[in-house]
Structure 1
């Protein structure tokens, strides 16, 4: 069995590489997908396709439509979603992706530090599993593939 896992979360740190490296080291049969990690590409995709927009609000709207299409397709394809809420960055896209996963009935592993417990309590209760670290999430993923003999 091979799983497709959508990695939702901020694109400014290397947490996705950490997940992918650990999955490879554990020899887990996982294909990873996720949001566009090239921030400039994500911000400019609307104008790259549709041409220059008359103001920043319409530029954002054009990019958002295309990014939402991409994200929606990849989330629907995913067997499981891992959403990381870190300490440093604003987490609006992560919250949107995690709640979309819940709405689609996708299993969700929510990674959030203890300091975010209160802010994410409702989402945490909707998640399949809530953990506090990438290592804990990897242990959950590893357990999925464990044979119960």
Structure 2
């Protein structure tokens, strides 16, 4: 049985590659999908498809519509959602992705450092599992196959 895992979260470091590598080492039959991780492509996709917009507001709105469409399609196909929150980056999109996953009744794992226990308490309460490390998230998924 192969599972599809949607990796929600910040796009500024290589945490997705770390998860994929650790899953591969453990021989887990997982396929990974994610939001657009090319920041410029994500910001400009509205104008790439719809043409130049009259202001930054409309440019952001057009890109947001298309990025949200992409996220919804991929998340609906996912079997599991992993959402990573970190200290360094603002996590508005990640919080929205967790809310979407929960609304879609997707099994959800939140990864967050201990310092974010309080600000993420409501999301953690709605997720199926909250952990502090990528390794712990991989072990939760590995347990499915035991």
Q: CA deviation at 1:144?
A: 1.0
* Aligned counterparts of 1:29 and 1:135: Cα–Cα separation in 2: 16
* Aligned counterparts of 2:36 and 2:17: Cα–Cα separation in 1: 14
Corresponding residue for 2:64?
A: 64
Give the TM-score normalised by the residue count of structure 2: 0.99
Deviations 1:74-106 (A, max 9, x none): 010000000000110000000000110001100
* Aligned counterparts of 1:52 and 1:39: Cα–Cα separation in 2: 18
The unaligned stretches of length 5 or more in structure 1 are none
Aligned 1:106-125 pairs, distance under 5 A: 106-125=106-125
Is the aligned partner of 1:101 residue 2:96?
no
Aligned 1:16-35 pairs, distance under 5 A: 16-35=16-35
Aligned 1:17-96 pairs, distance under 5 A: 17-96=17-96
The unaligned stretches of length 5 or more in structure 2 are none
Q: CA RMSD in A?
A: 0.5
* Aligned counterparts of 2:62 and 2:73: Cα–Cα separation in 1: 17
* Aligned counterparts of 2:141 and 2:79: Cα–Cα separation in 1: 12
Task: Report SS of the residue matched to 2:82.
Answer: strand
Task: Report SS of the residue matched to 2:49.
Answer: helix
* Aligned counterparts of 2:142 and 2:88: Cα–Cα separation in 1: 27
Count of aligned pairs: 146
Q: CA deviation at 1:29?
A: 0.4
* Aligned counterparts of 1:14 and 1:144: Cα–Cα separation in 2: 25
Q: CA deviation at 1:138?
A: 0.9
Give the TM-score normalised by the residue count of structure 1: 0.97
